Amino acid sequence: EVQLVESGGGLVQPGGSLRLSCAASGFTFSSCDMHWVRQATGKGLEWVSTIVPAGDTYYPDSVKGRFTVSRENAKNSLYLHINSLRAEDTAVYYCARATGSSSWYTFDYWGQGTLVTVSS
């Protein structure tokens, strides 16, 4: 069974940093594209990063320079490091996967999310 479990969220002061983790199981993690998607309370989904098996990374302009996605295939783990946190980064952060068994262009499994709250 495919499982994605996020952790690392919490209350952080503006300007601080945080590292989110996503533990994967039930599939060949090293072969999948992995993504982070966030959702502010009561708002829509927003794609914030992608890392492919070779380690190339991609971000929207809105977070480029502050967000860093990484992966540790030996530990079946995905990470998101966020710097210079702002109030508008407050959201539930989901990890999701993409694989050629369905489509490289969709997010076929999602974790339950971890809440990041940026407030003083």
Partner 1 sequence: QSALTQPASVSGSPGQSITISCTGTSSDVGGFNYVSWYQQHPGKAPKLMIFDVTKRPSGVSNRFSGSKSGNTASLTISGLQAEDEADYYCSSYRSTNTWLFGGGTKVTVL
The residues that touch partner 1, with contacts defined as CB under 8 A, are: 33, 35, 37, 44-47, 50, 52, 56, 58, 60-62, 94, 102-103, 105-113
Nearest to 12 by CA among 80, 81, 90: 90
3-class SS at 74? helix
Query: Measured on CA atoms in the order 41, 24, 30, 68, is the torsion positive or negative?
Result: positive
Least Cβ distance, residue 62 to partner 1 (angstroms): 7
Closest distance to partner 1 from the beta carbon of 50 (Å): 5
**16 versus 55: smaller Cβ distance to partner 1:** 55
* Shortest Å distance, C-beta 107 to partner 1: 7
- Give the tokens for residue 30: 């090293």
